[in-house]
Amino acid sequence: MAFSAFDVIGPNMIGPSSSHTAGAVRIGLMARALVGNQIAEAEIIFHGSFAATGKGHATDRGIVAGLLGFATDDERLKDSIEIATQQGMKLSFSSADLGDQFHPNTARIYIRNPGKPELRTTVSSIGGGMIRVVGIDRFPTDFSGELDTLVLWHYDSAGFLSKVTTLLACVEANIAEIHTARRTRGNDALSIIEVDAPLPDDVISVMHRIKNIDRVIQLPRLA
């Protein structure tokens, strides 16, 4: 992966660390986007360096700031946990060894909303405020949020992706990358589609009509 000077320096942010603080905010923003910005309860598990030194770098406050929709340079970051509690968001924090396959700056977040499926996402902060989403609902993933991204929960069936890509071709969407993970053949699956520009609003509505789709989320690019 190529890095620019801005990646090394990091984004506009409230300190002290681009990886432990700004990256943490973006982890929270990603989790928030995956559930459509509604969060009643969040269980946050820290791994590796996040578990060892995150408290001193405001990693916990950074993630909660992101869950609230705050930007990396929002002065309210320092009070994010208190603000979330005042708004009725239930929070819990713990540490765990998620395994050597994960970057040391990794958090796993469970988000629960009444009447909706629980979301589990695992996200790593890889430096300079950049992140990689490495897991959603027990499916392996690998995307950054730097492109407009579709997340599709669906049933694994023949011809499914061809129907989706045909729809995207109709609106002249340029696909950068597609990744599909499935539990077993003909079982639940998750597809990630990164595109070069935002999709028209009605595309997601039409996509919901494709057979075997359970849920679709269009993620905006992370600021």
**What was the pLDDT predicted at 192?**
98
The domain total for the chain is 2
Q: Does residue 120 contact residue 109 with C-beta atoms inside 8 Å?
A: yes
Do 26 and 120 lie in one domain? The reply is yes
Type of residue numbered 102: F
Do 195 and 162 lie in one domain? The reply is yes
Q: Measured between alpha carbons, how far is 169 from 183 in angstroms, rounded to an integer?
A: 28
Task: Supply φ then ψ for residue 222, to 5 degrees.
Answer: -70, 135
- Taking only the tens of pLDDT, the chain with its 223 residues reads 444 444 444 555 555 456 779 999 999 999 999 999 889 999 999 999 999 988 888 899 999 999 999 999 999 999 999 999 999 999 999 999 999 999 999 999 999 999 999 999 999 999 888 999 999 999 999 999 999 999 999 999 999 999 999 999 999 999 999 999 998 887 999 999 999 999 988 999 999 999 999 999 999 898 6
Q: Give the CATH number, domain containing residue 15.
A: 3.30.1330.90
Among the candidates 137, 167, 183, a domain finishes at 137
The domain in which residue 176 lies consists of 148-219
Residue 143 counted as domain residue: no
